[in-house]
Structure 1
Amino acid sequence: MPSLPLRVAVVCLSNQNRSMEAHNFLKRRGISVRSFGTGAHVKLPGRTPHRPKIYDFKTTYDQMYKDLLKKDQAFYTHNGILHMLNRNKRIKPGPERFQNCKDRFDLILTCEERVYDLVVEDLNSREQETCQLVHVVNVDIQDNYEDATIGSFLLCDLCQCMQETEDLDNEIEELLLVFEEKTGKAFLHTVCFY
């Protein structure tokens, strides 16, 4: 078993629903975790699908909460956004953009393929300094509350199994195959270097 806990990052598009649900769940299980988004802006559902509420990544969860509360409390309570933002602000002050983080992780979990592509692209564009390897793994999780919750259980099981392996670098492919068979989900995996 590895002597040090895995340093894990969970990444979705806006660092709101999927990554924050997983962040919350993994943290409660004692896993060293941070969460991020990869989008240019934070997008939350608006009154219509074509008119989302858009915020800068520098906007705190509390500022978003207060803004939506003021704009239409009934609507944002009914669709669960205020509840989600309330959870988020208990975990950390605000959303973080992956591309702005220079911290190093052992494992980066992404929640959709386009986010995976953005993470891999960003890591490969950085100047390699230490040649420390990082495993980037994607499993598609639908961006709704129920799937985010189920996805957080899956990501937690995956992290716990990876933490217990003797040699993660050599065992990860086999471990992901086991998870694919067990869940019926496809996992993408690549190795990048810092």
Structure 2
Amino acid sequence: MAQQQQQQQIFRLAVICASNQNRSMEAHNVLQKAGYTVSSYGTGSAVRLPGPSVDKPNIYPFGVPYNDILNDLVKKDPQLYKANGLLPMLDRNRRIKRAPERWQENRDIFDIVISCEERCFDAACDDLNNRSGDLNRPVHLINIEIQDNHQEAAVGGQLILQLVNTIAQSQDRDADMDRILDEFASRTNAQVLHSVCFY
């Protein structure tokens, strides 16, 4: 147990989705409760949340606090945003960290980055490949495809925890990663992508 806790401490982990609201924050919450050091981000150009209709989303810049977004939606239509799950989601988010963060603006270094959608995986790959790579330090970028709704985010958070627990038990994650991901995909039927990038 002590060894697993020690591995969790030295394991730099990030989860990303489009807006750093639903899927990445559910995974952030689950992983943090399990004792992992974890950060979360979005790869979109702005934070987009469902609005009163499909063509009228609520759009905020990254960095606007979850609390401010929640208060804004309460002013607009508390019944709608409670019923569609946005208010409970934002309430959870503000307990975890202050505001949604954009992946492309962060300069932290991670061992494992897990995205929740292929376009977010592609955006993170592009961003990492456009950085200098001066440190020659590998980062495993993994995508687990998760639909952007509250039910699938809850399932996806548990899937990501399963995967991270398996990675944390490896004595040599660089050598074992392909095997770990193959076994995880066959056991869970998850759609998995993997790329190694460098800081």
Q: Percent sequence identity over matched residues?
A: 44
Aligned to 2:67: 62
Find the aligned partners of 1:90 and 1:108 in 2 and give their Cα distance. 22
Letter in 2 for 1:91: I
Provide, for residues 29-73 of structure 1, a one-character-per-residue CA deviation record: whole Å limited to 9, x for no partner: 001100000000000000111211000002110110111101111
Aligned to 2:17: 12
Q: Secondary structure at the match of 1:99?
A: helix
Provide, for residues 106-127 of structure 1, a one-character-per-residue CA deviation record: whole Å limited to 9, x for no partner: 0000000000000000000011
Find the aligned partners of 1:43 and 1:140 in 2 and give their Cα distance. 19
Q: Secondary structure at the match of 1:51?
A: coil
Find the aligned partners of 1:146 and 1:77 in 2 and give their Cα distance. 15
Q: Is the counterpart of residue 133 in structure 1 residue 138 in structure 2?
A: yes
Letter in 2 for 1:178: E
Q: Is the counterpart of residue 168 in structure 1 residue 173 in structure 2?
A: yes
Q: Is the counterpart of residue 158 in structure 1 residue 163 in structure 2?
A: yes
Letter in 2 for 1:31: Y
Correspondence for 2:42 among 18, 37, 40:
37
Correspondence for 2:90 among 85, 97, 101:
85
Following superposition, the deviation at residue 144 of structure 1 comes to: 0.6
Correspondence for 1:76 among 71, 74, 81:
81
Find the aligned partners of 1:60 and 1:66 in 2 and give their Cα distance. 10
Correspondence for 1:103 among 86, 94, 108:
108
Gaps of 5+ in 2: none
Q: Is the counterpart of residue 116 in structure 1 residue 121 in structure 2?
A: yes
Alignment TM-score, normalising by the size of structure 2: 0.95
Following superposition, the deviation at residue 186 of structure 1 comes to: 2.1
Provide, for residues 71-115 of structure 1, a one-character-per-residue CA deviation record: whole Å limited to 9, x for no partner: 111111111101100000000000000000000000000000000
Following superposition, the deviation at residue 140 of structure 1 comes to: 0.2
Root mean square deviation of aligned Cα? 1.1
Range with bigger deviation, 1-10 or 26-35: 1-10
Letter in 2 for 1:44: L
Find the aligned partners of 2:145 and 2:191 in 1 and give their Cα distance. 8
Q: Secondary structure at the match of 1:189?
A: strand
Question: How many pairs does the alignment contain?
Answer: 194
Letter in 1 for 2:87: L
Aligned to 2:56: 51
Following superposition, the deviation at residue 6 of structure 1 comes to: 1.4
Aligned to 2:31: 26
Find the aligned partners of 1:31 and 1:58 in 2 and give their Cα distance. 23
Q: Secondary structure at the match of 1:93?
A: coil
Gaps of 5+ in 1: none
